[in-house]
Structure 1
Amino acid sequence: MAVQNSAKKTKKSAASGNSFINFFIDLKAETKRITWASKEKVKKATATVLIFCLIYIVIVGLLDVGFKNLFSVIFK
């Protein structure tokens, strides 16, 4: 059984100036629909990301120093 799509899409040429202008009009309309996070939530999320980045940096740094020392002992 074939499903028919009743909504027909109109095709606009990419070269027309109206499609370029309509893109920015649609972009403005979409940005108005965005629900932004509160300032407090953004601060919490930023702090969380920074803490995890610092933990990751410390772990990778310790592994780097450990493997460097291990290789220097092995290839002495």
Structure 2
Amino acid sequence: MAARDDAKKVRKQVTPEGGFFNFFKGLVAEFKRITWPSKEDLKKVTISVIAFCGVYVIIVGVIDFGFNSLVKTILK
């Protein structure tokens, strides 16, 4: 008897309020509230991200080269 009551409680917890279709209705409503950037803003942000990544790669490469040279010098 107790196992049946536990199973009923689990079923009630698994099914969310509103159901499956209301989730997608809410999702569509949230997408309508998004303010999308203009093409110009998107281009500027994309260029700045790519430039930052390039600078980051160069800095990490220089540090890696320096540590590699340092270790080779120490172990020589």
**Shorter-chain TM-score above 0.5:** yes
Distance of aligned partners of 1:22 and 1:14 in 2 relative to their CA distance in 1, 3 Å threshold:
farther
* Relative contact order higher in (CA < 8 Å, ≥ 6 apart): 1
Query: Percent identical across equivalent pairs?
Result: 50
Q: How many residues align?
A: 65
AA aligned opposite 2:62: L
Unaligned 5+ segments in structure 1 are: 1-11
> For residue 4 of structure 1, what is the aligned residue in structure 2?
none
Unaligned 5+ segments in structure 2 are: 1-11
Q: Aligned equivalents of 1:13 and 1:60: distance in 2?
A: 49
- 1:24 to partner: Cα distance: 0.3
1:4-39 Cα offsets, whole Å, 9 max, x none, are: xxxxxxxx86437x5111010011011011110001
> For residue 22 of structure 1, what is the aligned residue in structure 2?
22
Coordinate RMSD, CA, aligned = 2.0
* TM-score, normalised with respect to structure 2: 0.76
Q: Aligned equivalents of 1:68 and 1:13: distance in 2?
A: 56
Q: Aligned equivalents of 1:63 and 1:13: distance in 2?
A: 53
* TM-score, normalised with respect to structure 1: 0.76
Where in structure 2 are the equivalents of 1:28-47 lying within 5 Å?
28-47=28-47
